[in-house]
Amino acid sequence: MDAIKNQILDNEGASEIDVISMTIPSRPEYVGVIRLTVSAIANRIGFNIEDIEDIKVAVAEACTNAIQHSYNDESNFYVAFEIGIDSLGVIVRDDGKGIKVEDVKEPQLGELKEGGLGIFIIKSLMDEVSFSCEIEKGTEIKMVKFLHENY
């Protein structure tokens, strides 16, 4: 996580962003803990209730993906919150089997099946989304939501 903190500077490189990181057991009952945590952080930054709900849904989707793709119930996944003056970044990383980023496609509305919408939901709710992945080493998703002044 030190590498994450070292990379987290604003565009000017002048001010550091606060980082909170957590290691979570890969079990669904802990997703609620992450939802409550991100809600409190987003509220402190000043996001409105609609944005907070969007952030909670996106983060829960990313955590659910991390749990589903982890090796077993004994493994962990990792969450880091990057707290800026006018933004909130959330990184969710697992040590699972990984995916090929090019295999993540936009869903076809006429061909919906159970599952497979998590990435689409995350992209539609957050301002910036990026992925990195290594096969057999895990997947990392970074989501950013900016505080917009014009409410």
Q: Tens of pLDDT along 42-70?
A: 999 999 999 999 999 999 999 999 998 87
Q: Tens of pLDDT along 82-132?
A: 999 999 999 999 988 766 555 555 555 555 454 567 888 999 999 999 989
Domain that holds residue 83: 2-146
Looking up residue 94, the CATH number of its domain turns out to be 3.30.565.10
User: Rounded distance, CA 19 to CA 90, Å?
Assistant: 10
Alpha helices by DSSP H, the chain: 2-7, 31-45, 49-68, 118-125
Q: Is residue 151 part of a domain?
A: no
User: Rounded distance, CA 23 to CA 80, Å?
Assistant: 9
